[in-house]
A and B are shown apart, each in its own frame.
Chain A
Amino acid sequence: MRASELIEQNNQKREFLTEENEKYYSNLMIYIRTRLSLSEQQSEEVLMEMLEHLIEGQHDGKTARDIFGNDPKGYADEIISQLPPEEKRDLVKFFGQITINLIGWFLVMRSIAILLIGLTQEVDTTEYILPTIILVALILLLVALGVKVIFTLINRSAFDENTNEKMQMIKAGLYGAVEFLVIIVASYFIKDFGPSFEFPWTVSLGIGAILLLISWLMKKSINYNPSAP
């Protein structure tokens, strides 16, 4: 079974849990899932096993505490220490797919923006190769960093009873705002230099659509071809 199928079934099966067991299990699940360096396939398999165990135990009158112990964080750490890391090949595929997807959206949005602004005024569609590369690399870097920061935030708060969800949201939102600001400031200060070329909206839209198609096909093939046996 693929990881994506396991996740979907996990969502459905969690409905069978009592409120108390659901809370215990969900914390465990979030804590394990936010460790991005671990094999997704293996993580989802053991999460599914634990969920099925809990559902079966629940029928016999047991609680999550009876089954997994009174120290959920310690237990989750034990599971994590035994899970294999994601294979490098899969990580490269995963980040490659996200990068192509982001650039695809970037180009599609650019063409829409040119089209809309073009309704009222003349738009300069010249692109300078080097500044564009720098800006795109900066955006990708900030997005990757943002994912890491937000996952770490969620991971840390998984077993914290006093977590203030609003505070977490504000933190994540603040991070997004700062990122956005950095990109705007950078694009303002990076001067147009070096070789340039004409990049009309039609070409931008075409290439963007092709990239989105490629990323969609890549995603399908990643899900279809789990690395684990």
Chain B
Amino acid sequence: MTIRSQLLKGILDGCVLAVIEKETVYGYELSRKLQEVGLADVSEGTIYPVLLRLQKNKLITGKMIPSESGPNRKYYSLTEAGKDALNIISEEWNQLSVPINALLLKGEDSNESK
């Protein structure tokens, strides 16, 4: 496992919740949106275990919409608990990202100033 995917693993739930908060999406759409924002390393299949876990924890609900000719798509939307969880994750991320940036990007700054 690459370092990036290890780091991502912890925060991927938050990313998926954030995409679903903006609009209801189905699986393929979700993976495309994650790649569009630059998370190209998320292998597409990884979203399905995440979606199942979020459903099991009642943070999102999925509805399978059948269609006569086209594909069957399961559309996901956030529950109230999901909105709360997203808020908590965003807050935690803010609190973590400032000190981590300060720590990890320090070396970069001093290199640049030389």
When distances are taken between beta carbons in the complex, the residues of chain A under 8 Å from B56 are: 82, 84
Q: How far is the CA of A67 from the CA of B43 in the complex (A)?
A: 6
Complex contact A78–B49 (CB within 8 A): yes
Most-contacted residue by chain B among A53, A66, A69 (CB, 10 A): A53
Complex contact B45–A69 (CB within 8 A): yes
Question: Does chain A have a CB within 8 A of B44?
Answer: yes
> Looking at the complex, which one of A6, A50, A57 makes contact with B48 (CB distance below 8 Å)?
A50
Instruction: Fill in one digit per residue for A26-70: 1 if any B CB lies within 8 Å of its CB, else 0.
Output: 000000000000000010011011101101110000100011110
Instruction: Fill in one digit per residue for B20-48: 1 if any A CB lies within 8 Å of its CB, else 0.
Output: 00000011100100000000000111001
Q: How far is the CA of A69 from the CA of B48 in the complex (A)?
A: 13
When distances are taken between beta carbons in the complex, the residues of chain B under 8 Å from A82 are: 49, 52-53, 56
> Looking at the complex, which one of B27, B45, B64 makes contact with A68 (CB distance below 8 Å)?
B45
When distances are taken between beta carbons in the complex, the residues of chain B under 8 Å from A68 are: 43-45
Complex contact A57–B44 (CB within 8 A): yes
Task: Tell me the smallest distance from the CB of B79 to a CB of chain A, in Å.
Answer: 12
Chain B, interface size: which category? Answer: 20 to 34
Q: How far is the CA of A46 from the CA of B76 in the complex (A)?
A: 13
Number of interface residues of A (CB under 8 A): 28
Task: Tell me the smallest distance from the CB of B48 to a CB of chain A, in Å.
Answer: 6
When distances are taken between beta carbons in the complex, the residues of chain A under 8 Å from B83 are: none
> Looking at the complex, which one of A45, A62, A79 makes contact with B64 (CB distance below 8 Å)?
A45
Question: Does chain A have a CB within 8 A of B97?
Answer: no
Q: How far is the CA of A78 from the CA of B48 in the complex (A)?
A: 9
Cβ-closest chain A residue relative to B74: A49
Cβ-closest chain B residue relative to A5: B66
Q: How far is the CA of A42 from the CA of B48 in the complex (A)?
A: 12
Question: Does chain B have a CB within 8 A of A194?
Answer: no
Question: Does chain B have a CB within 8 A of A83?
Answer: yes
Instruction: Fill in one digit per residue for A4-32: 1 if any B CB lies within 8 Å of its CB, else 0.
Output: 01100100000000000000000000000
Jot down 11 A-B pairs with beta carbons below 8 A, ordered by A.
A1-B66, A9-B72, A50-B45, A52-B27, A53-B28, A53-B45, A66-B44, A67-B44, A67-B45, A68-B43, A82-B52
Q: Other CB < 8 Å A-B pairs besides A45-B62, A62-B44, A82-B52, 16 of them?
A: A6-B72, A45-B64, A46-B51, A49-B74, A53-B28, A53-B31, A67-B44, A68-B43, A68-B44, A68-B45, A69-B43, A79-B48, A79-B49, A82-B56, A84-B56, A229-B63
